[in-house]
């Protein structure tokens, strides 16, 4: 079974631009979560989607948004990019949202903001 895929793998943008990242979960998985990883802040939860609905949202500004499509694929968007948005953005999928559900992470998208 194919794992979680994220596109693009690497991205370079300049301040003020916007960016859209894509995540395709494992086939059959309905939950997709997004995380930001930076050397200073570590791994931080952005948001989670299940059946096209946002279930949880982390403590990030409104410039960060996301959505999930009917095929469970998800996108996240960051508008008005800032230098501090440079990070590895990770997507994780799982079958559902019940307790002890294992999450599978993708390889991430490395975003560099210049």
- For position 94 contacting another protein by CB under 8 A, the verdict is yes
36 binds another protein (CB under 8 A): no
Query: Is the CB of 18 or the CB of 104 nearer to another protein?
Result: 104
Q: Would you list the DSSP string of 10-78?
A: EEEE-TT--EEEEEEPPTT--EEEEEEEETTTEEEEEEEEETTEEEEE-S--TTEEEEE-TTS-EEEEE
Shortest Å distance, C-beta 3 to another protein: 9
Binding residues for another protein, per CB under 8 A? 4, 31, 33, 35, 42-45, 48, 50, 55-56, 58, 88, 90-92, 94, 97-108, 110
């Amino acid at each position: 079974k194919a794992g979680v895929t994220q596109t693009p793998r690497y991205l370079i943008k300049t301040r003020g631009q916007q960016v859209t990242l894509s995540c395709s979960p494992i086939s059959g998985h309905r939950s997709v979560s997004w995380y930001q990883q930076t050397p200073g802040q570590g791994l931080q939860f952005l948001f989670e989607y299940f059946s096209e609905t946002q279930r949880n949202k982390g403590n990030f500004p409104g410039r960060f948004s996301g959505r999930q499509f009917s095929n469970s694929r998800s996108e996240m968007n960051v508008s008005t990019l800032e230098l501090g948005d440079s990070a590895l953005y990770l997507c994780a999928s799982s079958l559902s949202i019940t307790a002890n559900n294992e999450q599978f992470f993708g390889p991430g998208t490395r975003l560099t903001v210049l």
